[in-house]
Amino acid sequence: MKFRLSFLVLAGFLLTSCATRSVNHPFGDDIEPSAGMQTSLFDPLASLYTDTSASSGTPRFVTDVPKNSTGGVVVMVSVPEASVSFKLTLEGPEAERIDFYRLRSVPVNQNTGYFGMTEGHIGFDNRHIVRHAPFSIFEILEPSVPGRFVGETVYAFYLKLRIGADAEPGVIETSIVIRSEDSDAAERLSWNLAVHDVIPAFGPDSELLNTNWFNGPHSGFEKKLDEDYWRLLDEQTAFRRDGGQNVTWVPDAVMFDTLEGVRTVNRERLGRFIDIADRNGMYLFEGYMMAKRAKSFQSRDLVVGPARLPAGSPEAAEYISDTYGALYEYLAERNLQARWVQHILDEPQAKQAAGYRWIAAELRKAMPGIRIIEATKTRKPLVGSVDIWNPLINDFQRNRNFFQERRDDGDEVWIYTAMVPGGPWLNRLMDQERLRSVYIGWGASKFDVGGYLRWGFDQWRRNQDIRQGDLSTTWSGRLQLPQGDEFVVFPGPDGQLLSTTRWEAGRLGLEDYRLLTMLKAKDENTYNEVIAMCFTDFKTYQTDPRVYRNARRALLESLTP
C-alpha cells in the first residue's frame, strides 16, 4: 500500500502541476484569442481579489470528487473597459446541470488580530493572513446563469456540478467559452471533473457532528413566528444541512412563551421546529442557554429565567424544576431524550463555576439523562457538570491530556471557533485561507474530535449592510470582532441565504471527514500517510491548495475498490 500511495501521490502532483500552471490557451478552429480579454480557471480554495490578474490561473483544471458529491471551479474574466461585453457559454454532456454563480466581492477593512479579534483591538500585527487590509475579496456566490455580461472590468464565476450516487466513474469534460461581442475573439477553458468510484459514508456514526448558531428567518429584524418564518426556516435548514450541518440549536422563542414572568413550553411551536429539523436530517437538538451573567461578562453571579432569579436561590430551583421539567416531559413524549443536549451558559469561566455547577445539578434533577453541552472557557472547575466539552481549537490542542481524560471518563469532546483564535490557528474568518475551513474536518478526524461548533452563521444586525463593507461589530464601544466572525453566509433577496467561498470550503472539509473515517477503518497506515501530506495539527498545515488537492486525490484513490 505504501508503494501504491507513493505512486498515486507522484501522479497526482504531476496532474495538479499541469492543471495549475499557466500555459497557452487551447483554441478550436472557430476560436481566435483576444488581445484585450483575459480569462483563466482557479481553484475555488484560492484567495481571489478584485485586482487578481484574470490570466494568472490555468486554462485547464481538474477537480477530483467522490460520487454523491459536488465539484467546483472558478472562472475569472477581465476586459479592457466596462463597456466591453462578452458572452459566456458552457459546453459538455453535463453543461445544463451545472449550477452557475456570479462571485461577488466584499471589502475587508481590517485584519484579524494575532490572538483573535482585530489587529487594532489586540495591538499585535498578524502575519498569518492572506493579505493586509484594505482589500476586496471574492466571497459571495450569487445565483446566475451563463449569458451576456457587461458593465464591469473584472468578473468571477463559481461553477458547481452535483454528482449523484449512481454516477459512472470517469471524467466529465466541460468547456467554458468566453466570446467577445465586439469582435470574433474568444477564449476556451477546460474543466474536467474526475469522478471516483467512492461514496462518502453517511449517518451519525460517519459524520462530524456540526452546528452553526443561526439567527434564522428575518435575521437582524423583528422576529415574527408567522407562516413566512416557518417556510423560510424549512428552506434555510435544508441549506445548512446541504453544507454539512447536522445539529441545530433551538431558539428560546421557539421553546417557550413568557407571560408575567412565567414560562411555559409552547408545544405547537417546538413540535413544528423539531419536525422541520427532522425532515432535513438533523441528528441533535441544542437547547438554548438557560442562564445569564448577573451584570457584565465578567460577573461571578448567574441568574436564570425572565425574572433573573439568582443561582442558588429557592426561587431559581423552583423555576428550573417547573420550566425544564415541563420541557423534559414533552421530549420524553416524543422519545427525544437521547437527541437533546442542553446549554446552560455560553463560555463559562472559572469565576462562574460555582453558579454553573449549582444550575447543572438542578437541571439534572429536572431533566434526568439529558447531556449538558458547553462552549467552555475553563476546565477542571466544571468537571462533573459538563458532558460534552466544547473548547476553542487552541485550548483543545494545548490541553489534549485533560480532554483525553474527559473522554476516558465517558464525556464527549468537540471544538469551536469564534472571534478567536487568530494567528495561524484554524478558523473561518474573512482574511484567512479558505483551506482553514477545510482542515477543520481533517483535524477533527486526526484527533478524534466528536463535533464542531461555529457560533456566527447569519448574525448580521438590523440595517447592517454587510455587502458594502459593514462587516464588523463594536461591542461596548471598544470590542472589535474580526470580519467574518458573525456570519459565514450572506443575506439574499426574500430571505434567501447566499453561500460563500468559506461555506463551500467548510462543506468540503466535512465531506473529507467522512472519507477519512472510511479510510481509517480500512487501512490506518495509509490514513496516517494521507493526512501527513497536508495536515499536522490545528495550527500547522499546508496552505497551497495544490498540496491539499494532491492529498485529497490520494484519499479518494485509496478508497477506490
Lookup: cell for 171: 471524467
**Sequence-distant (≥ 6) Cβ neighbours of residue 305 within 8 angstroms:** 261, 263, 316, 319, 323
Q: How far is CA 251 from the centre of its chain?
A: 20
298 dihedral zone (left: phi>0; alpha: psi -120 to 50; beta): alpha
Q: What is the DSSP string of 2-27?
A: HHHHHHHHHHHHHHHHHHHS--PPP-
Positive or negative CA dihedral for 78, 82, 84, 88? positive
What is d(CA 258, CA 319) in angstroms, rounded to the nearest whole number?
13
Residues 6 or more apart whose CB falls under 8 angstroms from that of 63 comprise 71, 72, 73, 191, 192, 193, 194
Task: Encode 235-263: b = buried (16+ Cβ within 10 Å), e = exposed.
Answer: bbbebbbebbbbbbbbbeebbbeeeeeeb
* Cell matching residue 165: 450516487
Q: Please state, in angstroms and as integers, the Cα–Cα distance from residue 454 to each residue in 51, 319, 401, following that order.
A: 30, 30, 24
Our measurement of the distance from residue 24's CA atom to the centroid of its chain's CA atoms, rounded to an integer in Å, reads: 36
C-alpha 393/C-alpha 287 separation (Å) is 23
What is the Cα–Cα distance from 388 to 410, expressed in whole angstroms? 10
Residue pair 372/360 in contact by the 8 Å Cβ criterion: yes
| Contact of 59 with 25, CB cutoff 8 Å | yes
d(CA 74, CA 545): 13
In the chain, % helix, strand, coil (3-state, to 5) comes to: 30, 25, 40
3-state SS of 227-256 is HHHHHHHHHHHHHHHHCCCCEEEECHHHHE
Task: Give the predicted TM-score (pTM) of the model.
Answer: 0.93
The Cα 429–Cα 470 span in angstroms is 15
Question: Please, are residues 192 and 161 in contact by the beta-carbon 8 Å criterion?
Answer: no
| 437, 505 contact by CB (below 8 A) | yes
Q: Quick one: residue 484, left, alpha or beta (phi over 0 = left, psi -120 to 50 = alpha)?
A: left
CA–CA separation, 6 and 319 (whole Å): 62
Q: Give the pLDDT score at 219.
A: 62
What pLDDT is attached to residue 12?
46
Distance CA 424, CA 537 (A): 11
Cite the beta strand spans of 202-346 per DSSP E: 209-212, 247-250, 256-259, 262-265, 284-287, 291-293, 302-304, 309-310, 340-342
pLDDT < 50: residue spans in the chain: 1-30, 475-477
Which residues have CB under 8 Å from 335's CB, separation 6+? none
pLDDT at 119: 85
